[in-house]
Amino acid sequence: MNRSKNRLQIFLLSGIITLVHIPFSLALDEQVCINGYYQLLKEFHNPANPADLKQLAFNRQRLMEYLKVKKIPAFQRETMHGPIPVILLNKKTYPDLGYLLDDSMGMAASLHPGGGTDHGMFRNKTVLLDLYNPGQRLDAGEIHNTGLAWKDLHEYLAQRKPTSRKIMDMAFLLTDAERDTVNLYQRIRRAAVFRAKYAFYKEDAYWKNLPHMLESGAEHCYTFPPASHGASYCAEMGRFLTQVGLKPFEELKKDPRVVEFLSRAKQIVLSAPWREADQMNHHALLNRPELLALIEPVVGAQKSLDEKIKIMSYLLSIEATTNYMKTLNALEIGTGGGNYFNYNRSRATALFIYDETPGVEEKFFNGSYETKSDYYSFLNDGKNKPL
């Protein structure tokens, strides 16, 4: 009798252990997936070998496993470099995607089906940017009449409605150095350290009294994100430097004082609060004793303060624009303003779709999601697959 009782106790105990072990194992597997996702982000920050970046991008499987564990609505599409995830981004999914967004940039577009054209945009970490009518974007974070809206992504998603336009965002994970390069260029443009004309206002008298306005390469919403006119801008700013008696930019960069100036100015711009117009402008950023002390021996102390600030503005802008264009080329985007959503690029990490439509989650889970756009309709080809 005692033996039978003992066997029953052992049997019940083993059953309880098994039942406890099953969810524990599942939890352990889930944690492995989550850890793999964070390891992927960590590996991008400071890779020992830049050539490894493409291989890391190929390994999107870790991201897709994370999406499955977190039950984030997403599906996949096959590319030349393996499957890429297409992820629903809205106020509900943002909390689990914040790190990925903050470690990446996005070439984006707002979809305007039936409107004849879509609207080009850009995501700088967790800030959404776009260029439109200068002086008319104040409610979207514009400063200094640049036409550049800057919207905090978390705040923007919280305000979106089911009727809001869909947005496509091709995300690229970036190294620390790449992220600083992208952020620096976008901040310089926000602060109007140099200005470019808006394509649809290029002959308007509006431009005549704005400082640091360039004559070449009028921009619009699609040519702004990839700096399509960046080479023209750099050439024009370089000509100004020689016209005021300085050496060509590449020669100036050999001067240790200019190198130190560029390094310090970069840190000042990157650390400035982007929401504050009084701190985010060319005068506030560059009219500093430590920067003037470095640059005056190079440009001549006899020049006026405005001349010195314009020279400093153009030195920093040429450096930032050149490096930005190099980064876009490394990401296989280029500066031509072509197809933002070529998901066959080896450095592409994911495609985000901003959509608040009720019940859209199921279409992401089963891969039946489709887009409506006059230009971007590749998600309608039946090649979407569940994760």
pLDDT in tens, 46-84: 887 877 887 887 789 999 999 999 999 999 998 888 899
The answer to the question of residue 99 being in a domain is yes
The least confident of 7-21, 38-52, 253-267 is 7-21
Q: What is the pLDDT of residue 128?
A: 98
**Number of domains, the chain:** 1
Amino acid at 130: D
The answer to the question of residue 62 being in a domain is yes
Q: Please count the other Cβ atoms lying within 10 Å of the Cβ belonging to residue 266.
A: 20
Residue 258, pLDDT > 80, answer yes
**61 class by beta-carbon count within 10 Å (0-12 exposed, 13-18 middle, 19+ buried):** middle
Range of the domain at 143: 46-386
Residue 282, pLDDT > 60, answer yes
Q: Which two tokens stand for residue 379?
A: 């998600």
pLDDT digits (tens, 9 = 90+) for 89-99: 999 999 999 99
Beta bridge partners of 167: 110, 354
47 and 347 Cβ atoms separated by less than 8 Å: no
The answer to the question of residue 355 being in a domain is yes
109 and 118 Cβ atoms separated by less than 8 Å: yes
The answer to the question of residue 76 being in a domain is yes
pLDDT digits (tens, 9 = 90+) for 113-128: 877 788 999 999 999 9
341 and 168 Cβ atoms separated by less than 8 Å: yes
* Global pTM value: 0.90
Distance from C-alpha of 127 to C-alpha of 106, rounded to nearest angstrom: 10
Computed over every residue of the chain, the mean pLDDT equals: 88
Q: What is the pLDDT of residue 8?
A: 38
Helix (H) or strand (E) holding 353: strand 348-354
The set of residues, in sequence order, having a beta carbon less than 8 Å from that of 104 and lying 6+ positions away, is 123, 125, 171, 172, 173, 174, 349
The least confident of 133-147, 161-175, 289-303 is 133-147
The more confidently predicted of residues 386 and 51 is 386
Place of tokens 């252990």: 17
What's CA 147's distance to the chain center, in Å? 18
Q: What is the mean pLDDT of residues 232-259?
A: 97
Distance from C-alpha of 160 to C-alpha of 169, rounded to nearest angstrom: 16
The answer to the question of residue 259 being in a domain is yes
The more confidently predicted of residues 175 and 378 is 175
Q: What is the pLDDT of residue 363?
A: 96
Amino acid at 148: L
The answer to the question of residue 147 being in a domain is yes
Q: How far is CA 354 from CA 72, 165, 318, in A?
A: 13, 8, 34
Q: What is the pLDDT of residue 133?
A: 85
pLDDT tier at 19 (50, 70, 90 boundaries)?
very low
Q: What is the mean pLDDT of residues 2-9?
A: 44
The set of residues, in sequence order, having a beta carbon less than 8 Å from that of 49 and lying 6+ positions away, is none
Distance from C-alpha of 209 to C-alpha of 157, rounded to nearest angstrom: 36
Q: What is the mean pLDDT of residues 341-358?
A: 89
Q: What is the pLDDT of residue 208?
A: 65
The answer to the question of residue 252 being in a domain is yes
pLDDT tier at 16 (50, 70, 90 boundaries)?
very low
The answer to the question of residue 25 being in a domain is no
pLDDT digits (tens, 9 = 90+) for 159-216: 999 999 999 999 999 999 999 999 999 999 999 999 999 888 766 656 667 899 998 8
The contacts found for 245-253 with CB under 8 angstroms, 24 or more apart, are 245/300, 246/298, 246/299, 246/311, 249/315, 249/318, 252/298, 252/315, 253/319
pLDDT tier at 339 (50, 70, 90 boundaries)?
low
The least confident of 26-40, 250-264, 272-286 is 26-40
